[in-house]
């Protein structure tokens, strides 16, 4: 692991050892993530993997054995993005390269039907290198991320409070909610 990333991981570990609320922890990790991406980030090819064909790359940088958080490099080819989804944990998104668009959604229904959701777009944010966003359940969790550029790659570094191997995917056209399983392209 590159020393810049190692220092970030150690900073996050230190923050996770403090008795903080999720919101307090998130504030501190956002500041650490901003420091991480304030200059170009050296990522080797193993962390820049994308799947064959379509889609974006999801590459594990670090999984903490004590606190459970993960750090992931997301690689977004031009005009690529994901559907709205949740994580059910706090998270920080830091833009390392290119432009990343984050669409945040609010759930209008009460969640009584787990297989259906009525969503409304709350806001859209476009971030360039150095920009940092976050997710914080239950009200600031559903979002979609994409690379709006027609010709440039984008990379974002995500830090989550747990290893997200399962989440909910929200279909915009039908309102369907589908549980999905996630993996890493470099494992």
Closest CA to 43 of 176, 150, 155: 155
Structure tokens at 39: 């200059």
pLDDT at 72: 98
pLDDT at 180: 94
pLDDT at 122: 92
**Mean pLDDT taken over the chain:** 94
pLDDT at 54: 76
pLDDT at 115: 93
Query: Mind listing the pLDDT tens digit for each residue in 47-77?
Result: 999 988 778 999 999 999 999 999 999 999 9
* Residue 47 · residue 61 · CB < 8 Å: yes
Closest CA to 97 of 73, 79, 80, 81: 73
3-state secondary structure of 184: coil
Closest CA to 135 of 94, 100, 74: 94
The ranges of the chain with pLDDT < 70 are none
pLDDT at 139: 85
pLDDT at 114: 86
């Amino acid at each position: 692991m590159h020393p810049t990333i190692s220092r970030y991981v150690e900073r996050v570990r230190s923050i996770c050892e403090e008795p903080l609320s999720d919101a307090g922890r998130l504030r501190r990790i956002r500041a650490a993530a901003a420091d991480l991406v304030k200059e170009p980030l050296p990522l080797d090819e193993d962390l820049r993997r994308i799947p064959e064909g379509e889609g974006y790359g999801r590459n594990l940088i670090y999984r903490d054995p004590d606190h459970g958080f993960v750090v992931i490099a997301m690689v977004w080819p031009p005009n690529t993005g994901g559907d709205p989804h949740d994580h059910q944990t706090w998270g920080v998104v830091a833009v390392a390269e290119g432009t990343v668009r984050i669409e945040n959604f609010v759930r209008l229904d009460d969640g009584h039907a787990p297989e259906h959701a009525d969503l409304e777009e709350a806001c859209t944010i476009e971030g360039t290198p150095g920009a940092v966003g976050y997710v914080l359940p239950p009200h600031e969790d559903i979002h979609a991320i994409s690379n709006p550029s027609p010709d440039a790659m984008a990379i974002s570094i995500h830090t989550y409070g747990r290893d997200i191997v399962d989440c909910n995917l929200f279909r915009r056209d039908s309102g369907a909610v589908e549980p999905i399983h996630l993996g890493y392209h470099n494992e």
